[in-house]
Amino acid sequence: MSLDQQGFVYDQRLEDTTSRPPIYYGQASLALVGDASYSAFTGPIQGSRYRFEVTPTVGTMSFTTALADYRTYFFARPITFAFRGLHYGRYGRSADDSTTLYPLFLGEEQLMRGYSVGSFDQAECGAQSGGTIYSCPAFDRLLGSKLAVASFEIRVPLFGVPEYGLFNVPFLPLTVAPFVDAGVAWTGSTRPTFSAAENDLTKRVPVVSAGLSARFNVLGYAILEAYYAKPFQRPGRGWIWGFQLVPGW
Residues near 108 by Cβ (< 8 Å), separated by ≥ 6? 116
* Domain CATH number, residue 134: 2.40.160.50
DSSP letter (8 states) at residue 164: B
- Residue 166 lies inside a defined structural domain of this protein: yes
- Going by C-alpha positions, the residue among 219, 225, 227, 136 that lies closest to residue 181 is 227
DSSP letter (8 states) at residue 239: -
- Residue 84 lies inside a defined structural domain of this protein: yes
- Residue 82 lies inside a defined structural domain of this protein: yes
Give pairs for 8-17: CB < 8 Å, separation 24+: none
* Total number of residues shown for the chain: 249
Residues of the chain with pLDDT under 50: 128-133
**Residue pair 142/204 in contact by the 8 Å Cβ criterion:** no
Residues near 95 by Cβ (< 8 Å), separated by ≥ 6? 63, 89, 145, 187, 188
Beta strands in 61-206 (DSSP E): 63-76, 79-91, 104-105, 126-127, 133-135, 143-144, 146-160, 167-168, 174-186, 191-192, 203-204
Return the percent helix, strand and coil in the chain, to nearest 5. Answer: 5, 55, 45
- Residue 5 lies inside a defined structural domain of this protein: no
Helix ranges (DSSP H) in the chain: 137-140
Q: What are phi and psi of 69, to 5 degrees?
A: -135, 115
- Going by C-alpha positions, the residue among 108, 74, 90, 91 that lies closest to residue 181 is 108
Number of independent structural domains in the chain: 1
- Residue 17 lies inside a defined structural domain of this protein: no
- Residue 207 lies inside a defined structural domain of this protein: yes
pLDDT in tens, 111-121: 999 999 989 88
Global pTM value:
0.85
**Residue span of the structural domain in which 209 resides:** 71-89+103-245
Distance CA(195)–CA(227), nearest Å, equals 29
**Residue pair 240/231 in contact by the 8 Å Cβ criterion:** yes
DSSP letter (8 states) at residue 22: P
Q: What pLDDT score does 220 carry?
A: 83
- Residue 219 lies inside a defined structural domain of this protein: yes
Helix (H, G, I), strand (E, B) or coil at 21: coil
**Residue pair 91/204 in contact by the 8 Å Cβ criterion:** no
- Residue 43 lies inside a defined structural domain of this protein: no
